[in-house]
């Protein structure tokens, strides 16, 4: 039996086929049983990143399942279409408690959620067009209004998802910060200035194009060019040859450059051949020498022909008359001279042709040299001119676009400027004297109005999420002022503020009114110390890299955890808790927000309250109860056994009525343990 159990342990990871024959193999006799041969399995070794030798405050902190759930829920709340704005989510905690991490994690989930919502479109309960602006509290001291407006404006100019841009709505809101009459006048001046600059740049472009067209002549006649230097270095030789060819101008160098210009402008692939052929007959006395050579050659041929046929024509002279006999006899005795003279004429004609060719060669050589130098100079200068031309062309195109844009802006400014028939519009003094801070507030107010304008043709975001971090780096007085100022600046529809707040820090400035001041600023408080489910083991989480990294929850943009409605029993309970939970309208909205948010987290939390009634009761007393009522509820949880039925105290009366309503909602005994877990659970909401 022991052996069989040992075999079972050994073959557990074997294939299904071996498993199916397990009892058959082990029920065989000992002599025929075949022992399975198992090879040792090499353990899988996974490489992990090397541990840090020093961890800074900028590094990520270990993430818990509770913090991941909170970040996901905060992202859903910020992106939900049915979440009214403006509202502020306060992430409370001491310095170093993880406020920044939760804030960053929330933004990451928010981006993932909006991306998924964009794919679903109108079927998603979440808005897909969100703009996120990040504020650093250390940069807001002194002039928070301008810094907040600048950050929001910069966020609107960033490319949005899908390639869209919200720059037009940012520009439209910016127009509200200035006097319309002054803006219209400035727009006209900018348009006129753009046209003046465009005309000047166009004139410069035309000058460059003119220099390009006259580049050959410029480089040819420019003193100091390669052609000019060559011509002046060989002035006497060039002057002599130019005069020999009939160029008797005042300055032979100019005549030489004219010839170089004509040859280079002909565009021949072989300029030396062109010049040489032309110089054989087209210049100066070359034609006379050619004609002389041709005549001499003709005479040489005639004399040669006469010598070759002298017998015929001498015989003819003999036959004409006896008186011509002496002359014929003399011609016959001297006829050899015809051959000599014909040969002489031939050599003279040949010398004429050689002389013409030699003169043409000597004339061609400096011309060809000048053409080559001109091409080199032009090629070098053309690179410069082409660069200038391309730069100037781009400049003109840019200014053309700027002028067109300035024209559109001028028309828009004229349209926005108020006009009154028969009288000039007078700008109020309070508009003229506005400061940059006043302009920033006006910008944020105008932007809020544009976000609510559904008829605007310009692309607009659904809302703007602004994060505020870094208050811990300020002194308590400055931190409280920055928090209050930023909240006041963003207290307009369309804005959502996520602020990392140290309650103890701002309490030093707010004093006894801390709770009331924070209640006015923050609509949904969340304390990071209350959501840490492993506060005593952060060292272990930092050392264990696998525990510190939790996988992201799957993004479901088609459903929200916050969409659950109130049942009839829930409504009855919440109304019954109203007198103790919400003495003011603001407190009532705050209580309902907390109950809805906490209900979702309580369902997911293992240590959360077992009954919704105990959660609502604890939140109601913590939100609006007096000190006596809070202490009385805490005593009921501490002094009773966990499984003991929650008793109804005689006083305070509001607390007794609230406990009765909670017990009625539970439908069964509401225990002290349920209440204790609820009181512990709501610590995360910093109420």
Average pLDDT over residues 330-340: 76
Average pLDDT over residues 178-186: 73
Predicted confidence band of residue 422 (pLDDT cuts 50, 70, 90): very low
Rounded-to-integer distance, Cα 331 and Cα 308, Å: 14
Specify the pLDDT at position 335.
75
Distance, C-alpha 177 to centroid of its chain: 27
Identify the pLDDT of residue 353: 80
Task: Give the number of other CB atoms < 10 A from CB of residue 417.
Answer: 17
| pLDDT tens-place string over residues 601-654 | 777 665 667 678 888 888 888 888 888 888 888 888 888 777 888 777 877 888
Q: What is the CA radius of gyration of the chain?
A: 52
Concatenate the DSSP letters of all residues of 480-536 into one string.
HHHHHHHHHHT-STTEEEEEEE-HHHHHHHHGGGHHHHHHHH-SEEEEHHHH-TTGG
DSSP 8-state secondary structure symbol assigned to residue 550: P
- 516 upstream amide cis, omega within 30 of 0: no
Between 127-136, 241-250, 642-651, the lowest mean confidence (pLDDT) is in 241-250
Distance CA 63, CA 65 (A): 7
Mean pLDDT value across residues 36-48: 47
- Give me the mean pLDDT over the 130-141 stretch: 89
Whether the ω angle into residue 86 lies within 30 degrees of 0, i.e. cis, is yes
Q: What DSSP assignment string belongs to 636-668?
A: HHHSS-TTSBPPPPSSSHHHHHHHHHHHHHHSS
pLDDT at 54: 60
For the cut 60, the answer to whether the pLDDT of residue 425 exceeds it is no
The answer to whether the beta carbons of residues 525 and 92 sit under 8 Å apart is yes
Confidence check: pLDDT of 366 > 80 = no
**Is residue 663 over pLDDT 50?**
yes
Q: Which range, of 168-177, 185-194, 269-278, averages the lowest pLDDT?
A: 269-278
Please enumerate, as own/partner, the contacts of 534-539 that have beta carbons within 8 Å and a separation of 24 or more.
534/62, 534/64, 538/61, 538/62
Identify the weakest region by mean pLDDT among 505-519, 529-543, 632-646: 529-543
Between 249 and 69, the more confident residue is: 69
Answer whether residue 661 shows pLDDT above 90: no
The three-state secondary structure class of 479 is: helix
**pLDDT for residue 437 is more than 60:** yes
Q: pLDDT tens for residues 374-412?
A: 778 778 778 888 888 889 899 999 989 888 888 887 887
**Residues contacting 426, CB < 8 A, separation 6+:** none
Q: Which two tokens stand for residue 679?
A: 């009181």
List the Cα angle 48/52/53 in 5-degree steps: 140
**C-beta separation of 604 from 669 below 8 A:** no
Residue 7 pLDDT grade (very low, low, confident, very high; cuts 50, 70, 90): very low
Lowest mean pLDDT among 95-104, 337-346, 601-610: 601-610
Q: Does residue 395 or residue 439 have the better pLDDT?
A: 395
Q: Is the pLDDT of residue 250 over 50?
A: yes
Asked if pLDDT for residue 497 goes beyond 90, the answer is: yes
Q: How sure is the predictor about 680, in pLDDT bands with cuts at 50, 70 and 90?
A: confident
Q: Side by side, which strands form the sheet with 463-469?
A: 130-136, 463-469, 495-501, 87-92, 524-527
Is a pLDDT exceeding 50 seen at residue 39? Answer: no
Between residues 1 and 485, the one the model is more confident about:
485
The whole-angstrom separation of Cα 661 and Cα 648 is 10
**Residue 71: which residues within 8 A CB-CB, separation 6 or more?**
102, 105, 106, 108, 109
- DSSP for 44-112 reads PP---PPPPS---TTSPPPP-HHHHHHHHHHHHHHHBTT--SSEEEEEE--TTSSHHHHHHHHHHHHHH
Residue 240 confidence (pLDDT): 67
> What integer is the mean pLDDT of 416-434?
54
Lowest average pLDDT, out of 8-12, 126-130, 266-270, 426-430, goes to: 8-12
End-to-end CA distance of the chain: 65
Three-point CA angle 475, 481, 486, nearest 5°: 125
Average pLDDT, integer, range 459-483: 89
Closest CA to 149 of 590, 527, 485: 485
Residue 162 CB neighbour total at 10 angstroms: 10
Out of 9-13, 481-485, 498-502, 534-538, which region has the weakest mean confidence (pLDDT)? 9-13
- Residue 465 main-chain phi, psi, to 5 deg: -100, 125
Question: Based on the number of CB atoms within 10 Å of its own CB, is 203 exposed (0-12), middle (13-18) or buried (19 or more)?
Answer: exposed
Task: Give the per-residue pLDDT at 273.
Answer: 64
185/169 Cα distance (integer angstroms): 22
Q: What's the CA gap between 524 and 132, in Å, rounded?
A: 19
- pLDDT over 90 for what percent of the chain? 5
| Range 439-468 average pLDDT | 82
Higher pLDDT, 414 or 594: 594
The dihedral over CA atoms of 604, 607, 611, 614, expressed in degrees to the nearest 10, equals -120
For residue 610, give the H/E element and its range: none
How many helices (H) does the chain have, and how many strands (E)? Answer: 31, 5
Encoding tokens for residue 230? 């060559």
Element (H, E) at 136: strand 130-136
Look at residue 498 in the predicted model and tell me its pLDDT: 92
The overall longest dimension of the chain from CA atoms, in Å, is 186
DSSP 248: -
Question: Which pLDDT does position 290 carry in this prediction?
Answer: 75
Read off the pLDDT band of 275 (50, 70, 90): low
CB 496 within 8 A of CB 466: yes
Asked if 65 contacts 100 with a C-beta cutoff of 8 angstroms, the reply is no
- The least confident of 183-187, 273-277, 418-422, 510-514 is 418-422
Question: How far apart are the C-alpha atoms of 214 and 216, rounded to whole Å?
Answer: 6
Write down the mean pLDDT value for the chain. Answer: 75
Residue 199 is predicted with a pLDDT of 92
**335 vs 519, more confident:** 519
- Which domains, from first to last, does the chain contain? 1-43 (no CATH), 66-143+454-545 (3.40.50), 215-399 (no CATH), 572-685 (no CATH)
By residue count, the chain amounts to 687
Q: Are strands 495-501 and 87-92 parallel, antiparallel or unpaired?
A: parallel
> Hey, what's the torsion of the CAs at 57, 58, 62, 68, to 10 degrees?
130
With cut-offs at 50, 70 and 90, classify the pLDDT of residue 229: confident
How far lies 382's CA from each of 209, 215, 261, 318, in Å?
Answer: 11, 8, 17, 81
pLDDT at position 8, please?
38
| pLDDT of res. 196 | 92
Residue 20 has pLDDT above 60, yes or no: no
> What is the mean predicted confidence (pLDDT) over 582-611?
78
Distances (CA, A) of 212 to 167, 262, 373, 375, 378: 42, 18, 18, 14, 10
Give 361 or 303, the one with higher predicted confidence: 303
User: Of 163-172, 370-379, 437-446, which one has max mean pLDDT?
Assistant: 437-446
Identify the pLDDT of residue 230: 78
Q: Could you tell me the pLDDT band of residue 486, with boundaries at 50, 70 and 90?
A: very high
């Amino acid at each position: 039996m022991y052996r069989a159990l040992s075999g079972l342990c050994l073959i557990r990871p074997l294939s299904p086929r071996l498993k199916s024959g397990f009892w058959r193999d082990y029920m065989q006799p000992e002599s025929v049983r075949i022992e399975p041969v198992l090879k040792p399995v090499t353990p899988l070794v996974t490489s992990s990143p090397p541990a840090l030798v020093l961890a800074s405050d900028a590094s990520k902190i270990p993430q818990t399942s509770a913090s991941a759930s909170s970040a996901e829920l905060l992202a859903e709340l910020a992106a939900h279409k049915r979440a009214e704005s403006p509202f502020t989510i306060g992430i409370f905690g001491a310095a170093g408690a993880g406020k920044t991490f939760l804030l960053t994690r929330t933004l990451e989930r928010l981006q993932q959620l909006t991306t998924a919502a964009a794919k679903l479109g109108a079927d998603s309960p979440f808005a897909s067009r969100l703009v996120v602006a990040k504020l650093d509290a250390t940069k807001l001291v002194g002039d928070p209004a301008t810094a907040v407006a600048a950050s929001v404006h910069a966020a609107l100019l960033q490319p949005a998802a899908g390639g869209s841009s919200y720059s037009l709505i940012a520009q439209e809101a910016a127009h509200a910060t200035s006097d319309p009459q002054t803006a219209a006048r400035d727009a006209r001046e900018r348009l006129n200035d753009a046209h003046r600059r465009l005309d000047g740049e166009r004139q410069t472009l035309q000058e460059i194009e003119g220099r390009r067209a006259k580049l050959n002549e410029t480089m040819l006649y420019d003193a100091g060019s390669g052609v000019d230097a060559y011509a002046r270095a060989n002035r006497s030789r060039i002057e002599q040859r130019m005069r020999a060819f009939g160029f008797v101008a005042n300055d032979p160098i100019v005549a030489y450059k004219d010839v170089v210009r004509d040859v280079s402008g002909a565009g021949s692939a072989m300029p030396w051949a062109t010049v040489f052929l032309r110089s054989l007959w087209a210049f100066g006395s070359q034609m006379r020498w050619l004609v002389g050579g041709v005549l001499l050659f003709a005479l040489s041929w005639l004399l040669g022909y006469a010598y070759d046929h002298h017998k015929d024509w001498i015989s003819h002279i003999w036959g004409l008359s006896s008186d011509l006999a002496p002359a014929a006899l003399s011609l016959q005795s001297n006829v050899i001279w015809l051959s000599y003279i014909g040969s002489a004429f031939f050599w003279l004609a040949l010398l004429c042709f050689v002389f013409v060719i030699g003169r043409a060669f000597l004339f061609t050589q400096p011309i060809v040299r000048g053409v080559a130098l001109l091409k080199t100079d032009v090629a070098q200068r053309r690179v410069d001119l082409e660069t200038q031309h391309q730069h100037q062309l781009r400049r003109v195109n840019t200014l053309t676009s700027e002028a067109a844009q300035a024209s559109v802006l001028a028309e828009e400014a004229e349209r926005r400027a108020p006009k009154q028939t028969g009288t000039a519009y007078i700008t109020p003094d309070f508009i003229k004297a506005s400061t940059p801070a006043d302009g920033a507030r006006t910008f944020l107010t105008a932007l809020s109005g544009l976000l609510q304008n559904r008829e605007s043709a310009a692309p607009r975001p659904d809302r703007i999420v602004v994060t505020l971090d870094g208050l811990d780096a300020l002194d308590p007085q400055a931190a409280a002022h920055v928090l209050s100022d930023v909240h006041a600046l963003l207290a307009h529809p369309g804005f959502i503020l996520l602020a990392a707040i140290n309650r103890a820090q701002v309490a030093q400035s707010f004093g006894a009114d801390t709770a009331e001041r924070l209640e006015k600023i923050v609509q949904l408080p969340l304390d990071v110390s209350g959501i840490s489910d492993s506060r005593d083991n952060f060292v272990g989480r930092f050392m264990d890299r696998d525990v510190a990294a939790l996988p992201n929850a799957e993004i479901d943009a088609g459903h929200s955890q916050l969409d659950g409605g109130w049942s009839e029993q829930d409504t009855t309970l919440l109304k019954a808790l109203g007198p103790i939970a919400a003495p003011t309208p603001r407190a009532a909205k705050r209580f309902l927000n907390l109950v809805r948010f906490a209900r979702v987290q309580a369902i997911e939390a293992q240590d959360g309250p077992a009954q919704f009634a105990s959660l609502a009761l604890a939140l109601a007393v913590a939100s609006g109860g007096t000190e006596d009522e809070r202490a009385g509820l805490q005593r009921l949880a501490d002094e009773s056994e966990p499984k003991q039925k929650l008793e109804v105290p005689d006083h305070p009366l509001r607390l007794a009525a609230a406990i009765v309503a909670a017990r009625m909602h539970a439908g069964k005994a509401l225990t002290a343990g349920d209440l204790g877990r609820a009181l512990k659970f709501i610590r995360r909401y910093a109420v």
